[in-house]
């Protein structure tokens, strides 16, 4: 067995742990049993028609001195087989990955409990249904009443109580992975930024990290710090927007109105850094495109202080309003057990007591040196927990931002990206505001992309939403949905 590799480095292709299918599955099961988790699982066809099944695992470090985790990249040759025994029954968190295999490669995981397509579904077909006198079915979407992304939700209800929710997505499928695999070229970065528009910085950072690791480019420390600033500003804008949206969904107007405006202030802080409210084009391979000169850094620092003050006064109204608390508490609970089984990530996982954070577990760039304060959590797994988690993370992010701005290293902004090494593979992880953004990228003989895997946190967390709705009031669905606030296009790719 080759040693686990650290995040931010690339490996030669032949260094992937090559196992038999049996060993592969045993390794995954064993790793998951001892606090490991599956970051990605996919197949890559070879020119000779055979296929290789890959898996990226995040495992606890063997050294007891560090809290960081290690990555393992496993591969197994499937030959030309069209079926394999499913891992899902024993490792439920891979259920969507295996459904993807069946959908995209006609590779059937035998024994998978619910083998529906992930993206190419029609809202009229094959839904799980409950029957009985008092049961009724409510179908929502893909066209919604608000300006939101399309998705289909099928509720099996007895009166107001939801027994089962099935979520069918795919309406935003753009073939993003295939487009990325045509690279690297001038479009690569733009494609990454639009994988999930509200997580532009997270995906752009992941893409740049992957390309830098594959080429061995060393990014200057000042650029790494500015990337971290951009990432935290993105987190702040979205968390604040979400808290406002949660207030809006329970009809609590004060916080809803204020947060709508304050989210704009956070977006404007990003615009102050790079000219774009979503951080587009700020991050480029080899560094960043725009500097934070002392003057601008001071202005940014001042606007962060002001926006934080406003955020605190608006958000604290929520916790003091009994009518809001009675809506948030005990709504849409995801237990720790469920969260672990389906492999939740991000604030949703942390709100269920599952402490996963790429910034701490797999630090790269500025996160190797910047310390993260512990956050105050209420790990009850309900809407309140997810809302409060966001507020805690807002405070954590503001503290980190201040630290980053105070200790901004000197030096150049970017170094030229070196050519990608042929036949190398790397995993780039970034803690986006929704959770772990994972890009697994490999190059071919010519140093072009051989495959480009993207896993957006929404892909995993949609299952969490479905579980949260079990036994809940149908009228609480929008509230539960908002407490996750997942991306449709990030999942559909």
Within 10 angstroms of residue 44's Cβ, the number of other Cβ atoms is: 14
Please identify, using beta-carbon distances, which residue of 188 and 485 lies nearer to other proteins: 485
> Which 150-169 positions form the footprint of other proteins (CB under 8 A)?
159-160
Q: Which residue has the tokens 């650290």?
A: 6
Interacting residue with other proteins among 108, 115, 140, 372 (CB under 8 A): 140
**Strand-by-strand arrangement of the 424-431 sheet:** 10-12, 424-431, 436-443, 449-455
Binding mask 223-252 for other proteins (x = CB under 8 A): ------------------------x-xxxx
Residue 477 interacts with other proteins (CB under 8 A)?
yes
Binding range to other proteins, per CB under 8 A, among 87-95, 230-238, 253-261, 290-298: 253-261
- Size of interface with other proteins, in residues (CB under 8 A): 32
Cβ–Cβ < 8 Å for 57, 36 = yes
Q: How far is the CB of 149 from other proteins (least distance, A)?
A: 14
Q: How far is the CB of 253 from other proteins (least distance, A)?
A: 5
Which H helix or E strand runs over 222?
A: helix 221-249
Binding range to other proteins, per CB under 8 A, among 208-216, 278-286, 299-307, 319-327: 319-327
Q: How far is the CB of 209 from other proteins (least distance, A)?
A: 38
Residue 137 interacts with other proteins (CB under 8 A)?
yes
Please identify, using beta-carbon distances, which residue of 63 and 475 lies nearer to other proteins: 475
For residue 348, what are its two tokens? 């949703």
At 460, phi and psi to the nearest 5?
A: -80, -40
Helices (H), 250-379: 253-274, 294-320, 322-328, 336-342, 346-351, 358-361
Closest listed residue to residue 314, CA positions, set 399, 405, 390: 390
Please identify, using beta-carbon distances, which residue of 241 and 285 lies nearer to other proteins: 241
Interacting residue with other proteins among 49, 113, 132, 146 (CB under 8 A): 146
Helix, strand, coil content of the chain in percent (nearest 5): 45, 20, 35
Side-chain-side CA neighbours of 338 within 13 Å: the count stands at 20
Q: Which residue has the tokens 């809506």?
A: 327
Interacting residue with other proteins among 324, 370, 428, 429 (CB under 8 A): 324
Which H helix or E strand runs over 69?
A: strand 69-79
Residue 321 interacts with other proteins (CB under 8 A)?
yes
Residue 309 interacts with other proteins (CB under 8 A)?
no
d(CA 232, CA 393): 10
Q: Could you tell me if residue 274 is left (phi over 0), alpha (psi between -120 and 50 degrees) or otherwise beta?
A: alpha
Within 10 angstroms of residue 246's Cβ, the number of other Cβ atoms is: 27
Distance from the first to the final alpha carbon of the chain: 34
Interacting residue with other proteins among 2, 326, 371, 407 (CB under 8 A): 326
Residue 473 interacts with other proteins (CB under 8 A)?
yes
Side-chain-side CA neighbours of 131 within 13 Å: the count stands at 1
Please identify, using beta-carbon distances, which residue of 76 and 248 lies nearer to other proteins: 248
Interacting residue with other proteins among 474, 486, 491, 493 (CB under 8 A): 474
Interacting residue with other proteins among 122, 130, 253, 374 (CB under 8 A): 253
Closest listed residue to residue 462, CA positions, set 196, 241, 279: 196
Binding mask 430-469 for other proteins (x = CB under 8 A): ----------------------------------------
Q: How far is the CB of 247 from other proteins (least distance, A)?
A: 8
Side-chain-side CA neighbours of 161 within 13 Å: the count stands at 7
Interacting residue with other proteins among 191, 224, 274, 331 (CB under 8 A): 331
Cβ–Cβ < 8 Å for 181, 452 = yes
Give the interface with other proteins as residue ranges (CB under 8 A): 136-140, 145-146, 159-160, 247, 249-254, 256-258, 321, 323-324, 326-327, 331, 473-479
């Amino acid at each position: 067995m080759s040693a686990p590799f650290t995040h931010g480095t690339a490996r030669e292709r032949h260094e992937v742990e090559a196992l038999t299918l049996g060993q592969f599955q045993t390794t995954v099961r064993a790793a998951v049993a001892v606090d490991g988790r599956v970051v990605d699982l996919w197949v890559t066809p070879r020119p000779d028609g055979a296929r290789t099944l890959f898996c990226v695992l995040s495992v606890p470090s063997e050294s007891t001195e560090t809290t960081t985790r290690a990555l393992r990249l496993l591969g197994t040759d499937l030959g030309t087989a069209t079926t394999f025994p499913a891992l899902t029954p024993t490792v439920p968190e891979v259920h969507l990955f295996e459904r993807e295999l069946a959908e995209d490669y006609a590779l059937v995981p035998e024994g998978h409990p619910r083998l529906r397509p992930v993206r190419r579904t029609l809202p009229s077909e094959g839904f799980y249904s409950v029957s009985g006198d008092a049961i009724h079915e409510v179908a929502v979407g893909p066209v919604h009443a608000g300006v939101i992304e399309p998705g289909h939700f099928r509720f099996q209800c007895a009166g107001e109580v939801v027994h089962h929710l099935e979520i069918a997505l795919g309406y935003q499928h753009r073939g993003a992975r295939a487009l990325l695999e045509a690279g690297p070229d001038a479009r690569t970065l733009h494609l990454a930024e639009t994988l999930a528009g509200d997580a532009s910085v997270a995906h752009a950072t992941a893409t740049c990290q992957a390309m830098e690791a594959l080429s061995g480019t060393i990014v200057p420390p000042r650029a790494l710090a500015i990337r971290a600033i951009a990432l935290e500003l993105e987190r702040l804008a979205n968390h604040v927007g979400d808290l406002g949206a949660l207030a809006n969904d329970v009809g609590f107007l004060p916080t809803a109105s204020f947060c709508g405006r304050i989210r704009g202030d956070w977006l404007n802080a990003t615009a102050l850094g790079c000219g774009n409210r979503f951080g587009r084009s700020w991050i480029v391979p080899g560094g960043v495109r725009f500097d934070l000169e002392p003057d601008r850094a001071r202005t940014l620092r001042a606007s962060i202080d002001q926006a934080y003050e406003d955020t605190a006064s608006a958000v604290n109204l929520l916790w003091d309003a009994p009518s809001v608390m009675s809506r948030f508490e005990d709504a849409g609970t995801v237990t720790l057990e469920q969260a672990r089984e389906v492999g939740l990530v991000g604030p949703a996982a942390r709100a269920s007591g599952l402490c996963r954070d790429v910034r701490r577990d797999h630090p790269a760039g500025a996160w190797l040196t910047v310390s993260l304060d512990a956050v105050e959590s209420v790990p009850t797994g309900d809407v309140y927990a997810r809302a409060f988690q966001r507020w805690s993370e807002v405070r954590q992010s503001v503290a980190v931002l201040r630290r980053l701005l105070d200790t901004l290293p000197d030096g150049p902004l970017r170094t030229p990206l070196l050519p990608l090494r042929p036949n190398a593979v790397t995993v780039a992880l970034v803690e986006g505001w929704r959770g772990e953004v994972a890009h697994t990228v490999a190059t071919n003989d010519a140093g072009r992309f051989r495959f480009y895997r993207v896993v957006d946190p929404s892909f995993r967390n949609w299952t969490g939403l479905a579980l949260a709705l079990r036994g809940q009031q149908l009228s609480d669905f929008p509230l539960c949905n908002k407490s996750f606030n997942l991306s449709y296009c990030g999942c559909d790719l």
